[in-house]
Chain A
Amino acid sequence: MIKFFLMVNKQGQTRLSRYYEHVEINKRTILEAEVIKNCLSRSKDQCSFIEYKDFRLVYRQYAALFVVVGINETENEMAVYELIHNFVEVLDKYFSRVVSQTLNLLWKISFKALV
């Protein structure tokens, strides 16, 4: 099961977040900060799956934006990896050019895509 879906930039600012389980607001910010710290400290040739607390993070970097998905053990990590790419391709098709800025401004619509 997918627990959450985040798009965070390199400075740690959340561009998009969707939680599929209830998490307190203050906990969310802490979680996001820790997750992005974990992802930033990885080098390019390390694998994209990190074990964090009791779930796994699957992350993928697109220029200055990190897309991170938190899953539990029942999910196929590589399928989720593909899903992230699929999602970014969809956004790309829809907005004709995915850039961090554009993503923010058309945030409303990206959000809907996750629903």
Chain B
Amino acid sequence: MPAPIRLRELIRTIRTARTQAEEREMIQKECAAIRSSFREEDNTYRCRNVAKLLYMHMLGYPAHFGQLECLKLIASQKFTDKRIGYLGAMLLLDERQDVHLLMTNCIKNDLNHSTQYVQGLALCTLGCMGSSEMCRDLAGEVEKLLKTSNSYLRKKAALCAVHVIRKVPELMEMFLPATKNLLNEKNHGVLHTSVVLLTEMCERSPDMLAHFRKVSLVPQLVRILKNLIMSGYSPEHDVSGISDPFLQVRILRLLRILGRNDDDSSEAMNDILAQVATNTETSKNVGNAILYETVLTIMDIKSESGLRVLAINILGRFLLNNDKNIRYVALTSLLKTVQTDHNAVQRHRSTIVDCLKDLDVSIKRRAMELSFALVNGNNVRGMMKELLYFLDSCEPEFKADCASGIFLAAEKYAPSKRWHIDTIMRVLTTAGSYVRDDAVPNLIQLITNSVEMHAYTVQRLYKAILGDYSQQPLVQVASWCIGEYGDLLVSGQCEEEEPIQVTEDEVLDILESVLISNMSASVTRGYALTAIMKLSTRFTCTVNRIKKVVSIYGSSIDVELQQRAVEYNALFKKYDHMRPALLERMPVMEKVTTNGPTEIVQTNGETEPAVLETKPPPPGLQPATQANDLLDLLGGSDITPVIPTAPTSKPPSAGGELLDLLGDLNLTGSPVSAPAPQIAQPPFLLDGLSPQPLFNDIAAGIPSITAYNKNGLKIDFTFERSNTNPSITVITIQASNSTELDMTDFVFQAAVPKTFQLQLLSPSSSVIPAFNSGTITQVIKVLNPQKQQLRMRIKLTYNHKGSAMQDLAEVNNFPPQSWQ
């Protein structure tokens, strides 16, 4: 058999291949030759064949049949064989293959070999692909080599130790004694790998971290760093004028880990950090890399404020640099520091906003995130202008994030309702199709809440979709609004803007075209159909037209539309007397939480939602609203609208769900006295951190009762009920203590019979001060749909006079006005 071709020839031949198919053919031919050569057990050319195999593996072709050959090569005595064998083992073998365990013995022998290069090979391979069993077996050898005086071996052993620790963390203590002397080396290679080893140990185990802090590692590192900076030119370590920047960066990173949350260490390194920051040359990329690492370290440890200011100034300088890389890096670090040093970063706001206009995608993304983090009450108008402009011109992949960010920022900092609505409209018209799905219900809820802006809003929305109804979220919001406030639109009573003259027919025209258009999604059509239906109560002249439209869709192919149309038809025909009440104006919805991209979250504090309870208006009147401006940004659930429990209203349509009119109502022919619909959605009693609920009209003077009075503990109940929401009773308990000692860890629990629902909100505190000097208040909400007599069993636990007390009691003396 002729000698197999050399690797170089193979590479040359492969490169002449012009197509993928040709290349595959050549490779297959060569693979076949290699396979037959392996079968022949040819020792002389094995190494060459395996080398070729490795090359083909790199190009992406399967090479698993070479694994055993690698093992044979490792076992051979020749250095060239061993070299290729170990290389092949690193590339082809890993712990998934069973064959790798066969290597353990070979590696063990080679670790004790007389030639350092063979030892080095073995260390490399172990450090690259050693499995946990292999590491456990050979860790002792590695540790021995870590202590040798040969720097070539020491540095490789250190890296191997890193891998061992990653695979088998329990062996970390074994390497601890060897690390004592590691930093005393002169050889930079050993220094570098030792720092890597120490970094790995500190990151993995807090005990190690504490140990190293005690063993005064920081002064040692500071000394090494100082030598690096101060020493003159050393040719073997020089990179563009700076001495061993890679080692400097590594040391800085280790200092960061050591100094995190530790005052003493941070103090020890303040000087050196300042020195590095001021002395490093910034003309080349190398210097900037070191400065970047320094800035990250300063921000992370407990540095003094002067140092932090220095760091932010360095970042500011980076921002003005021409080099894109540096600007990107500066924006990234500013993003990390904006939480803690908000004011300092604000100073660079104009530069950051300029970066929005940069051509580079990575920079634009960072600038956008940073801009959202910097928006606050003062600069919101200016920033929004810039961000809206950015939204216009940015790439599609940004538009969704940008739109969500703008919505969030607008909600938090809107200076006025009109501005807020204008901003939202602008976003909808420019990036309408990229807006997230949950933005639509949020917007609808927002619009409902700004009562005085209804006319203005509906007018603007109408104008917006008059021209173009292809952007689905815009059309959805617009059709909902037109459906709700169509009467305002037609009557032309807008204060903020020039009122436009719109007839009922024109409004219906536009809604019908949305229904017919091919561009409308099925959800949008649902919105439009419902809007048309609602207008049947708002409009006076065009009811017949509406009836016609609705009946057409009774035979629509889209099941959702068909169902709605059929139900609405039934409403017209059989239940016409209920129609006005059913389709009356929506009440203000409650807002619990809102979604948003998590990067936008700024503060640590949570803001609490204000619970709104409003009455549904009698037909034709505007609902009363309460202030609704605190939002919980960190929450995750969607809004759950409050469902008014007046008998004849229907649940609101959030997110375009099907209105199950007929399902929820009790159609026994007596509309007014139908019981409140069973609510399938999350209970209207919201779990939240909410303050006292406010009723519009408190049912006058329900007498309060003393529910419990024993052993100096007195608990009073006061009641609140709404006239139009009669099933909810809100009980405020006040617990007071007339003894001479405080009662601590007070916990109040209550239980009610099955026909009631109970919700307990968090108490004001858990300590009742003595001598009636203070009280604990807690709010209980009880839902009593069947108007049965209220009964409650309460359990009290508290600590008094050093002993734990517990008591059970039943409360039966509820006044009739509280539940009838």
* Chain A residues with a Cβ under 8 A of chain B: 14, 16-17, 22, 25-26, 28-29, 43, 45-51, 76-79, 81-83, 86, 104-105, 107-108, 111-112, 115
Contacts and interface: CB of A to CB of B under 8 A. Distances in A.
Interface stretch (B51-59, B299-307, B554-562): B51-59
B245 A79 contact: yes
Given A47-B324, A105-B11, A107-B7, A82 B286 contact: yes
Contacts of B8: 105
The main secondary structure of chain A at its interface with chain B is: helix
Given A14-B59, A81-B325, 13 more contacts: A14-B58, A25-B57, A25-B61, A43-B359, A47-B325, A76-B296, A77-B329, A78-B285, A79-B245, A81-B289, A82-B286, A83-B246, A107-B7
B367 to A, nearest CB: 12
A104 B15 CA distance: 10
B78 to A, nearest CB: 16
Contacts of B59: 14
Contacts of B586: none
Interface in B62-104: 62, 83, 87, 90, 94, 96
B356 to A, nearest CB: 15
A115 B360 contact: no
Contact of A79 (B11, B54, B128, B289): B289
B373 interface: no
B60 interface: yes
Given A76-B289, A78-B289, A83-B246, A46 B359 contact: yes
B246 A79 contact: yes
B247 to A, nearest CB: 11
Contacts of B51: 108
Contact of B87 (A22, A48, A77, A112): A112
Contact of A78 (B7, B90, B94, B292): B292
24 contacts: A14-B59, A22-B96, A25-B57, A25-B62, A43-B359, A47-B328, A47-B362, A47-B363, A48-B324, A49-B329, A76-B292, A77-B328, A78-B288, A78-B325, A78-B329, A79-B246, A81-B325, A82-B239, A82-B285, A86-B239, A107-B55, A111-B87, A115-B87, A115-B124
A77 B366 CA distance: 15
Nearest to A29: B60
Nearest to A111: B87
Contacts of A29: 60
Contacts of B324: 45-48
B246 A26 contact: no
Contacts of A78: 285, 288-289, 292, 325-326, 329
B128 to A, nearest CB: 7
Query: Which 3 pairs from chain A and chain B are nearest by CB?
Result: A47-B324, A78-B289, A29-B60
A108 B7 contact: yes
Nearest to A27: B60
Nearest to B296: A76
A23 B77 CA distance: 32
A99 B61 CA distance: 25
B327 interface: yes
Contact of B362 (A14, A26, A51, A83): A51
A115 B90 contact: yes
A112 B125 CA distance: 12
